[in-house]
Amino acid sequence: MESASELVPFPLLLTPIESHYRACTIPYRFSSDNPRKPTPIELSWIDVFYNVIPSFKERAASDPTVPDAEAKAEKFAQRYAQILDDLKKDPESHGGPPDCILLCRLREQILRELGFRDIFKRVKDEENAKAITLFAEVIRLNDAIEDDGKRLENLVRGIFAGNIFDLGSAQLAEVFSKDGMSFLASCQNLVPRPWVIDDLDTFKLKWSKKSWKKAVIFVDNSGADIILGILPFARELLRRGTQVVLAANDLPSINDVTYNELIEILSKLKDDHGQLMGVDTSKLLVANSGNDLPVIDLIRVSQELSYLAADADLVVLEGMGRGIETNLYAQFKCDSLKIGMVKHMEVAEFLGGRLYDCVFKYNEVSS
């Protein structure tokens, strides 16, 4: 499933990793639970994955790169539904008990076995093209804000607004297929602060007093998310002298941006001098994270990313899958930021927030 070279633990995880790290935020079960009986939380999450089968099936059926796509899409839907039913009867089947990583992995495995490599390719390409046309305007609006703190808050709001483009959420996939999403409208319509986890004021204070020498940003979706949310934020870090490593997926998964796609996006956004709207990009690197899912287990990253991240002093995990569902409580040897929008009711309930609430979790490590 993963890229050929051996995957290694992310070097900035707090050690010993065994006692400090588990790549799932919401416990689906506890050791006291009967191993042969599904827990209420397992059942509700199995249903979350069940509910997106129709939109995945629809995307797969119209994949022009796969012969007999319609019949194979039907096969995918049946097989995955069967596995989810099996897990409801016996949580230890199919490599269980289930967590969000296993449920994502099983879905990807079936798609790939049937020959589907990138069923969201068309929509990713369309959204990237749209977002690229808006990039300069978004940058101009940000650059026009003179106050550093206000500009930072605007950039953060842009990350949340971009993060709405998530076709792994059944409700959002439906909204998106009906009328698309407006980035600038989304910026205005975020739920009001304080957000469910809101360390923005603390981060603003640090931002005004501190600069990081190297930041590693685990990126999430294509389209507005990467182009209008993350890249303006990364550009601002570059402006402040921070080296930035953007870590993107090795293989396609849902509408997440891949390493190769991100390199192509950047080549379209840079000018003839290699600048991003007047900002030098010689300190901007794109790394292949070695990941192939919309969530991430930081015990398994590429050696390339491990090498590039070793001396970073800021880690940013963006998006619901990476920043909330798998790594909200991950502890690092350096400062960290988990930032994403809550797009599943089950996550909102766990955090005690609202659907489409925002998470901005900043942890500082005293040097």
Range from 19-28, 88-97, 168-177, 311-320 carrying the lowest mean pLDDT: 168-177
Whether 256 and 222 have beta carbons less than 8 Å apart is answered as yes
Mean pLDDT of 95-102: 97
**CA distances to 104, 155, 197, 239, 251 from 6, in Å:** 21, 36, 35, 35, 15
Q: How far apart are CA 232 and CA 253, in angstroms?
A: 24
Q: How confident is the model at residue 367 (pLDDT cuts 50, 70, 90)?
A: low
Q: Is the pLDDT of residue 349 over 90?
A: yes
pLDDT tens digits along 157-208 = 999 999 887 666 666 666 666 655 677 778 888 999 999 999 999 999 999 9
Domains of the chain: residue spans and CATH: 26-114 (1.20.1700.10), 120-363 (3.40.50.10880)
227-246 per-residue burial string, b: 16 or more CB within 10 A, e: under 16: bbbbbbbbbbbbeeebbbbb
Provide mean pLDDT across the span 314-333: 98
